[in-house]
């Protein structure tokens, strides 16, 4: 995409017509160019009407580019198994990401899948010279080894080793969290106490920030990040898989839950809130030492009776420490919450 074309849409972010500004945000998201992030940050600060849409677009662009760089490093190192699931995740969110399809051609498990990925690159950009050259060489090879797939057949990413019935898995995890949350609420109301309130808030007063989250781009923020683009982390705990954690999330703050994951762990995080807010406003992220690796997926929120919440799923590519971060920004969830981080294997074993 040319820089001049993205500049046109960036300039329209300042238009007096909200419909034009909204169209510009959506077009910028389609380009996926990180050069637009500063302009989106300005919309986030100065345009309350489109603040949420600008944030979502910025996070999607940053998320896609950040993970694409990780995948590229894996491809360079010959770690195809590590790169493949990252690229599949990117293409689920952004099916026209030409860079992800191009890298997919290098990590494909079969010549047919490689040809399919190259075909998708050429559908998006017919004059992609390296893809043309590679496809021609592969066509010649496949003529001798087997039939080519249909030229315009649907492109299907490689299947994972096992198929997870996500609705069933999430329902199981959500049910566990919802039952715990309901029980604690009933006990809290019965005793007239405030079980969810933080001891630190009540006894020690307002806590000092333990760090910051960048609510515009996602991931950790520094003290140099503009104040309007960050939220303080006021609670940090070490947790284990399967443990239930409760607390109170106040407006304009974040809580961090650290845990250890093994490579290939299929992580599931569920957070129930009494006040879920606008489901389009992000509230849950997963970090490792390199920054944000995942955030809640649109459509993975849930409602169980009076309870609502958020869900996140991620397959760990490396062994090490991770942080689940929940945060409350304008329009997002707040108040009492129950949180659980577990794995697919643990959920399956509990059935």
Q: Which of 145, 177, 199 is the last residue of a domain?
A: 145
Range in 99-103, 151-155, 289-293 with the lowest mean pLDDT: 151-155
Give percent above pLDDT 70 in the chain.
74
pLDDT of 350: 60
What is the secondary structure of 219-255 as a DSSP string? SEE-TTS-GGGEEEEEEEEE--TT-EEEEEE-TTEEE
Report d(CA 325, CA 295) in Å as an integer.
9
**Alpha-carbon separation of residue 281 from 15, 226, 331 (angstroms):** 24, 20, 7
Domain CATH number, residue 246 = 2.60.120.380
Asked if residue 205 and residue 137 are part of one domain, the reply reads no
Asked if residue 243 and residue 186 are part of one domain, the reply reads yes
Of 22 and 44, more confident:
22
Is the pTM here over 0.85, yes or no? no
Confirm whether 90 is domain-assigned: yes
Asked if residue 306 and residue 182 are part of one domain, the reply reads yes
Confidence band, pLDDT 50/70/90 cuts, at residue 301: low
Asked if residue 319 and residue 193 are part of one domain, the reply reads yes
- Per-residue pLDDT reduced to its tens digit, 190-249: 444 444 444 445 544 566 789 999 988 888 998 888 998 999 999 999 999 988 888 888
Asked if residue 184 and residue 134 are part of one domain, the reply reads no
Q: Is the pLDDT of residue 70 over 70?
A: yes
pLDDT of 220: 93
Q: Which of 116, 145, 174 is the last residue of a domain?
A: 145
Q: Which of 83, 115, 145 is the last residue of a domain?
A: 145
Q: Is the pLDDT of residue 188 over 60?
A: no
What is the secondary structure of 138-181 as a DSSP string? HHHHHHHHSPPPPTTPPP-PPPPSS---HHHHHHHHHHHHHHHH
Asked if residue 190 and residue 95 are part of one domain, the reply reads no
Confidence band, pLDDT 50/70/90 cuts, at residue 291: confident
Confirm whether 83 is domain-assigned: yes
pLDDT of 166: 45
Confidence band, pLDDT 50/70/90 cuts, at residue 344: confident
Apex 162 CA angle, 160 and 166, nearest 5: 95
Confirm whether 155 is domain-assigned: no
Report d(CA 318, CA 298) in Å as an integer.
25
Q: Is the pLDDT of residue 178 over 70?
A: no
pLDDT of 174: 53
pLDDT of 232: 95
Asked if residue 199 and residue 128 are part of one domain, the reply reads no
Domain CATH number, residue 55 = 1.25.40.10
Confirm whether 284 is domain-assigned: yes
Q: Is the pLDDT of residue 77 over 60?
A: yes
Report d(CA 233, CA 224) in Å as an integer.
15
pLDDT of 154: 44
- Per-residue pLDDT reduced to its tens digit, 29-44: 877 777 787 788 788 8
pLDDT of 66: 67
Highest mean pLDDT among 14-18, 95-99, 335-339: 14-18
Angle (deg, nearest 10), helices 98-107 and 51-76: 30
Confirm whether 152 is domain-assigned: no
Asked if residue 207 and residue 170 are part of one domain, the reply reads yes
Asked if residue 325 and residue 285 are part of one domain, the reply reads yes
Q: How many domains does the chain have?
A: 2
Asked if residue 201 and residue 338 are part of one domain, the reply reads yes
pLDDT of 211: 93
Report d(CA 85, CA 188) in Å as an integer.
43
Confirm whether 159 is domain-assigned: no
Average pLDDT of the residues of the chain = 77
pLDDT of 241: 93
Asked if residue 346 and residue 199 are part of one domain, the reply reads yes
Confirm whether 277 is domain-assigned: yes
Rounded mean pLDDT of 170-183? 52
Report d(CA 186, CA 77) in Å as an integer.
53
pLDDT of 333: 86
Asked if residue 197 and residue 327 are part of one domain, the reply reads yes
Give residue 171's domain range. 166-350
Confirm whether 120 is domain-assigned: yes
């Amino acid at each position: 995409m040319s820089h001049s074309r993205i500049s046109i849409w960036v300039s329209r972010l300042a238009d007096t017509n909200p419909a034009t500004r909204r169209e510009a945000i959506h077009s910028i998201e389609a380009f996926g160019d990180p050069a637009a992030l500063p302009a989106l940050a300005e919309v986030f600060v100065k345009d309350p009407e489109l603040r949420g849409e600008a944030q979502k677009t910025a996070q999607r662009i940053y998320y896609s580019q950040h993970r694409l760089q990780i995948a590229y490093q894996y491809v360079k190192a010959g770690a195809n198994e590590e790169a493949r699931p990252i690229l599949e995740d990117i293409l689920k969110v952004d099916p026209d990401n030409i860079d992800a399809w191009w890298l997919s051609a290098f990590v494909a498990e079969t010549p047919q899948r490689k040809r399919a990925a190259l075909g998708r690159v050429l559908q998006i950009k017919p004059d992609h010279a390296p893809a043309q050259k590679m496809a021609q060489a592969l066509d010649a090879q496949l003529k001798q080894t087997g039939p080519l797939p249909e030229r315009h057949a649907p492109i299907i990413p490689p299947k994972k080793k096992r198929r997870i019935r996500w609705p069933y898995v999430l329902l199981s995890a959500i049910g566990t969290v919802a039952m715990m949350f309901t029980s604690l609420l009933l006990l809290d109301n019965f005793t007239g106490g405030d079980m969810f309130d933080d001891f630190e808030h009540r006894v020690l007063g307002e806590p000092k920030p333990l760090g910051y989250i960048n609510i515009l781009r996602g991931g950790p923020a520094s003290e140099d990040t503009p104040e309007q683009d960050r939220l303080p982390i006021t609670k940090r705990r070490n947790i284990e898989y399967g443990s239930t954690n409760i607390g109170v999330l106040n407006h304009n703050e974040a809580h961090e839950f650290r845990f250890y994951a093994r490579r290939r762990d299929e992580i599931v995080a569920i957070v129930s809130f009494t006040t879920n807010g606008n489901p389009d406003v992000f509230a849950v992220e997963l970090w490792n030492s390199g920054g944000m690796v995942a955030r809640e997926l649109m459509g993975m929120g849930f409602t169980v009776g009076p309870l609502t919440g958020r869900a996140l799923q991620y397959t760990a590519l490396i062994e090490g420490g991770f942080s689940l971060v929940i945060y409350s920004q304008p329009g997002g969830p707040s108040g009492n919450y129950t949180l659980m981080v577990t794995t697919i294997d643990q959920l399956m074993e509990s059935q």
